[in-house]
Amino acid sequence: MSIKRLSPEEALALNKFAVDEGKPHIIVDKAICAKCTDRACLVVCPARLYRLKDGQMSFEYAGCLECGTCRVMCSEGGVTSWNYPRASFGVSYRTS
Amino acid sequence: MAEDKFDAIVVGAGPAGCSCAYVLAKGGKNVLLVERGDSPGGKNVSGGRLYTYALELIEPGMYQRAPLQRKIVREQVMLLDKQTATTIDYFDPRFSENVPQSYSVVRAKLDEWFASEAEAKGATLASGVLVDGVIEENGKIVGIRAGEEEMRSDVVVAADGINSLLGRKAGLFPDLQGHAVGVGVKETIELPDSVISARFAVKDDEGVARVAIGCTDGISGGGFLYTNKGSISLGIVFNPVQAAKQGRSIQEILQDYKTHPAILALIEGGTTIEYGAHLVPEAGYRGIPERLHREGIVVIGDAARFGINTGLIIRGMDLAMVSGLAAARAILQAANTEEVGPLYIDKLDELMLLAEERAFENFHGIFEIPRVFREVPKLANEAMQFLFTVDGKVPTPMVQGLTDVVRRNMSLGQILADGWKVYRSL
């Protein structure tokens, strides 16, 4: 392989994750997001886990890099709960 | 474990927590070091360069045991335009003599080693434990909660990183604000050691630290590149508030930087093996919370938002270690829990951490000048292009040519205003 542009999905696929199935560590209230005009999360989440689908906010917690940017940048409170994944879940960095 | 009471519980086995736990354990204290990752470093991302004076302060010669990557002997500053790049390269072989100044590091290795050093001194390491909150009794913090378990101690040391849940739960400070942080994203790119040494013109144990401006779509921030053993750390740190307004994804801007022709030439043939992201404290002295302690808890490292970024020098891990040392010295000296907090601030002063932060107090002003991140690097490259182009035509007189380059990018008013702001910030 050589150097090429990576999509967010390709970049995340390189990492080691243990997904806590059915137990999201970040809770997003889509009703609040529907009223938000800033939607900084769409741009600033390094994993691009916030997307608009048919005009509705969608958030996928698997692939979260646990940086906290979405919580810090959320202006309307749509990120209603932000925690780290439970012990032994989430990302495990090996070379960073 | 709920039965035990520790002298200190340190939450977070990063540079701050390990430094604190190491010094406390060495001083005879019964210390529990709690880490949410399966192993220390597993949740951490840094640029990564460590200024090793901090390890020297903890224990002379300690850096020689640390799993460091390459000694930085080349400091480089890169100004980027779309296709072009102007690079300043400062080579100083003395950086690798006597007390080495800085090394590139990989956190999964560094943190794991540092935690094991604390263990060897007698600290108890509990990895894979997520701390949910603090236990408060009679107005004092007396321990931590992790799931069903409660663990008690005279002092809790919050070394739980930039998002510090403990500092917030203990009511010491509010959450971070967007303007006071940088978002960092980074790819680790695997390349053979010999290729790295040849491309960067360094010996096998020596390396390069590079900062770049002009690669952030005009957003306040910059790129970095560090050479490690067998890999290169390549990334960008920038202001998320401006990024949100500008509208392009952070991850995409990193791809632009990575595939800039001048960067691509350095990493060509390599393979990206990991993608990480992390927040960094960016507001310097002014970003440090007013309250870093109350009875039963002190806050150190990124959690205390210690950071210095001059654009050329980016420091966090060394300050984290120094603050961990300060907290440990305070705990060792204090006659009771009430004394620990004020003593911690005294020790931060003694170790000159706060004075260092204050020395750069106004520096952030430079990063608020929008033209620094687009027009200035563009101008530099256009000036170089003018100076180095030979096309067989009668050349424009030098002064006129350079004046034209400047005028194309900035007005006289902007130059004066920006120059004044830079002067005021230094």
CATH topology of domain A8-86: Alpha-Beta Plaits (3.30.70)
At A48 the pLDDT is 97
How much of chain B exceeds pLDDT 90, in percent? Answer: 85
Which pLDDT score, from 0 to 100, does residue B181 have?
96
Query: B192 to chain A nearest CA, in Å?
Result: 13
- Is A8 in Cβ contact with B267 (below 8 Å)? no
- Across the interface, of B241, B251, B258, the residue whose CB is closest to A3 is B258
Pairing state between β B206-213 and B221-227: antiparallel
Interaxial angle between packed helices B398-409 and B375-388, expressed in degrees from 0 to 180 and rounded to the nearest 10: 160
- If asked whether residues B296 and B155 sit together in one domain, one would say yes
B-chain residue closest to A64, CA distance: B277
How far is the alpha carbon of B73 from chain A, nearest alpha carbon, in Å?
21
Structural domain contains residue B357: no
ipTM of the shown complex? 0.97
Tell me the pTM: 0.96
**Closest CA–CA distance from residue A52 to any residue of chain B (Å):** 14
Q: Is residue B318 part of a domain?
A: yes
CB of A67 closer than 8 Å to CB of A43? no
Could you tell me if B123 and B202 lie in one domain? no
Structural domain includes residue B378: yes
Burial code (b: 16+ CB inside 10 Å, e: under 16) for B213-245 equals bbbbbbbbbbbbbbbbbbbbbbbbbbbbbbbbe
| Residue for token pair 């995340």 | A12
pLDDT at B168 over 60: yes
Residues B166 and B308 occupy one common structural domain? yes
Strands (DSSP E) found in B66-170 = 71-80, 85-91, 102-104, 124-127, 133-137, 140-146, 149-158
Residue B103 confidence (pLDDT): 96
Q: In this structure, is residue B340 part of a structural domain?
A: yes
Indicate the residue among B244, B259, B281 that finishes a domain: B281
* Span B111-149, pLDDT tens digits: 999 999 999 999 999 999 999 999 999 999 999 999 999
Under an 8 A CB cutoff, do A67 and B130 touch?
Answer: no
Report yes or no on B96 lying in a domain: no
Radius of gyration of chain A (CA): 14
pLDDT digits (tens, 9 = 90+) for B319-328: 999 999 999 9
Helix, strand, coil distribution of chain B in percent, nearest 5: 40, 25, 35
pLDDT tens track for B36-77: 999 999 999 998 999 999 999 999 999 999 999 999 999 999
CB A26 within 8 A of CB A64: yes
Establish if B270 belongs to a structural domain.
yes
B159 and B184 fall within a common domain:
no
Structural domain that includes position B221:
179-281
Structural domain boundaries in chain A: 8-86
Diameter over CA atoms, chain B: 87
Model confidence pLDDT, tens digit, residues B374-392: 999 999 999 999 999 999 9
Q: Does A96 touch chain B (CB under 8 A)?
A: yes
Contact across the interface for A11 and B46, Cβ inside 8 Å: no
Same domain, residue pair B306 and B186: no
Residue B1 confidence (pLDDT): 45
* Interface contact B277-A87, CB threshold 8 A: no
**C-beta atoms of B272 and A87 within 8 A:** no
Mean pLDDT across chain B:
94
Judged by CB atoms closer than 8 Å, whether chains meet at A67 and B275 is answered as no
Q: Is residue B65 part of a domain?
A: yes
List pLDDT tens digits, range B199-250: 999 999 999 999 999 999 999 999 999 999 999 999 999 999 999 999 999 9
Residue B74: inside a domain: no
Domain co-membership, B400 together with B416: yes
Are B368 and B382 in a shared domain? Answer: yes
pLDDT means per 10 residues, chain A with 96 residues, are: 92 97 96 95 97 93 98 96 95 95
Residues B258 and B305 in one domain: no
Do residue B166 and residue B310 come from a single domain? yes
